[in-house]
Amino acid sequence: MSRLHDMGGRFGDGAVVPDAPDAPVFDTDWHARALAVTLACGSLGKWNIDVSRHARERLSPKDYTRFSYYEKWISALADLLVENGVLTREDLMGQGENELHALATHVLATKALKAEAVAGVLAKGGPANRDSDIAARFAVGDAVVTRHPGGSALVNGGHTRLPGYAVGARGRVMLYHGAHVLPDSSAHGLGEAPEPLYAVAFKASELWSHPEHPDDEVILDLWQSYLLPDQEC
């Protein structure tokens, strides 16, 4: 049930290589264009951030491994554009262009992000908190255990934000964030299904066979449906 993006705790990736203090924000021009095209296409309103993340995650393992970061973005974007009927496969092959097509206005063209709207759109953001009918089951300090097995409970192989390394782990509620959109649902067109979200602290010794320090912790933001009360604490 795993996908390659779920890499927390994995061995073998080698050293982290810090950048130079004067490194540019974008290494190359196409990185910047890939980010900007992806953000601009969000304004077409055909998907949300969860759908978008899942599109990157479900690149084939071979592609996920060999693609650089912004290659994943641009490739997942191309997939979303076709899957959502914005472009056709022929468009991507450069074959969707006859004179009539070129002159016809795309039905979504009115939604295209204009330069003068960019500052407002970026400043407005997309908050994920929502009102919810689901009452908070846990209080700060409560002992909890994460669902086992992990993976999406809604869609086999679907999107979820419970990393594999924290499946079936015991922790303690540290913060309550209010109710937030549930990505497991939202990524699959199943509605926002908002529910309580918590920051949960796990001792490193609960997660790893060789923790670096007895007092280290890892904190994850986890939705209520990922959690059960821990009876043994």
Site for other proteins in 107-146 (CB under 8 A): 108-109, 112-115, 117-119, 121-129
Q: Is 53 in the site for other proteins (CB under 8 A)?
A: yes
Q: Minimal CA–CA distance to 183: which of 218, 226, 140, 131?
A: 226
* Alpha-carbon dihedral angle through residues 206, 207, 210, 214, given to the nearest 10 degrees: -50
Q: Is 36 in the site for other proteins (CB under 8 A)?
A: yes
Locate all alpha helices (DSSP H) within the chain, ordered by sequence.
Answer: 29-42, 49-57, 61-66, 69-83, 89-92, 99-103, 115-124, 183-186, 204-207
In 3-state terms, the chain is what percent helix, strand and coil (to 5)?
Answer: 35, 15, 50
User: Which residue in the set 2, 45, 85, 89 belongs to the binding site for other proteins (CB under 8 A)?
Assistant: 89
Q: Within 13 Å of residue 192, how many CA atoms lie on the same side as its CB? A: 16
Instruction: Name which of 100 and 231 has its Cβ closer to other proteins.
Output: 100
Instruction: Name which of 157 and 168 has its Cβ closer to other proteins.
Output: 157
The region of 51-59, 130-138, 139-147 touching other proteins under the rule CB under 8 A is 51-59
Instruction: Name which of 93 and 139 has its Cβ closer to other proteins.
Output: 93
The Cβ of residue 33 has, within 10 Å, a number of other Cβ atoms equal to 13
Q: Is 103 in the site for other proteins (CB under 8 A)?
A: no
Q: Is 94 in the site for other proteins (CB under 8 A)?
A: yes
Instruction: Name which of 2 and 233 has its Cβ closer to other proteins.
Output: 2
Q: What are phi and psi of 72, to 5 degrees?
A: -60, -45
* Least Cβ distance, residue 143 to other proteins (angstroms): 18
Q: Is 100 in the site for other proteins (CB under 8 A)?
A: no
* Least Cβ distance, residue 191 to other proteins (angstroms): 15
Build a one-symbol-per-residue string for 187-206: x at contacts with other proteins by CB under 8 A, - elsewhere: -x--------x-x-x-----
Q: Is 149 in the site for other proteins (CB under 8 A)?
A: no
Distance in angstroms (rounded) separating the CA atoms of residues 74 and 70: 6
Binders of other proteins among residues 69 to 88 (CB under 8 A) are: 69-71, 74-79, 81-83, 86-87
Q: Which residues contact 224 (CB under 8 A, 6 or more apart)?
A: 134, 136, 137, 138, 195, 196, 197, 198
Q: Is 213 in the site for other proteins (CB under 8 A)?
A: yes
